[in-house]
A and B are shown apart, each in its own frame.
Chain A
Amino acid sequence: GAGVSQSPRYKVAKRGQDVALRCDPISGHVSLFWYQQALGQGPEFLTYFQNEAQLDKSGLPSDRFFAERPEGSVSTLKIQRTQQEDSAVYLCASSLGGRANQPQHFGDGTRLSIL
């Protein structure tokens, strides 16, 4: 079936604007993760959902970041009052079950540029 799908692929916003990034996980995958990848670095964890429950949001850098997965499938990452340091690639990943030792499959990411 289809892999993890993210939209938009590119997003340019002015500082102070709000943005919303969408993730469509692999069908039937229970777990969904958001990561932030700065240029030249490895992905860094933001938040984790098991079905609709947000079990870990310890990686969200500030209260301007908010994520939801209301029906346990599609997820949205929202960033309010964007700042230049929010510029990065935002990656979504999903895995089949809820255990920590299962493969995570990534989407192509959304490249966010804040002017």
Chain B
Amino acid sequence: GENVEQHPSTLSVQEGDSAVIKCTYSDSASNYFPWYKQELGKRPQLIIDIRSNVGEKKDQRIAVTLNKTAKHFSLHITETQPEDSAVYFCAFNNAGNMLTFGGGTRLMVKP
């Protein structure tokens, strides 16, 4: 099956610092790369996505970069706040429309 590696598995930062989470994938045909935020006991919430025709996308404090040649994409959160604490999942699409998810990164923002 298709693989995705997500790093780091846990990330602790001080409030106001930046956080970066990276994913690598194996399917060269993938063209859609969403990021989800999941708080404990809640639904995965789409926070940003990028398609393969662009290299970077930004939405306020959140940005995603994509390197199709190297098959990796990254989530960048600037000026982190305690409410950013959650588990973040990267994902990419497969030929069958489904998403393959990474193993998740637990982000802890310390006030």
Establish whether residues A42 and B102, one from each chain, have CB atoms under 8 Å apart when the complex forms: yes
Count B-side interface residues using an 8 Å CB cutoff. Answer: 26
Chain A residue contacts of B45, Cβ below 8 A: 106
**A interface SS class:** loop
Establish whether residues A59 and B43, one from each chain, have CB atoms under 8 Å apart when the complex forms: no
Taken together as a complex, chains A and B put the C-alpha atoms of A23 and B85 apart, in Å, by 28
Which of A61-69, A77-85, A95-103 is the contact stretch?
A: A95-103
Chain B residue contacts of A42, Cβ below 8 A: 6, 89, 91, 101-104
From residue A76, how far is it (CB to closest CB) to chain B in Å? 19
Known: A43-B44, A101-B31. 8 other contacts (CB 8 A): A40-B104, A42-B103, A56-B98, A59-B98, A103-B49, A106-B43, A106-B44, A108-B43
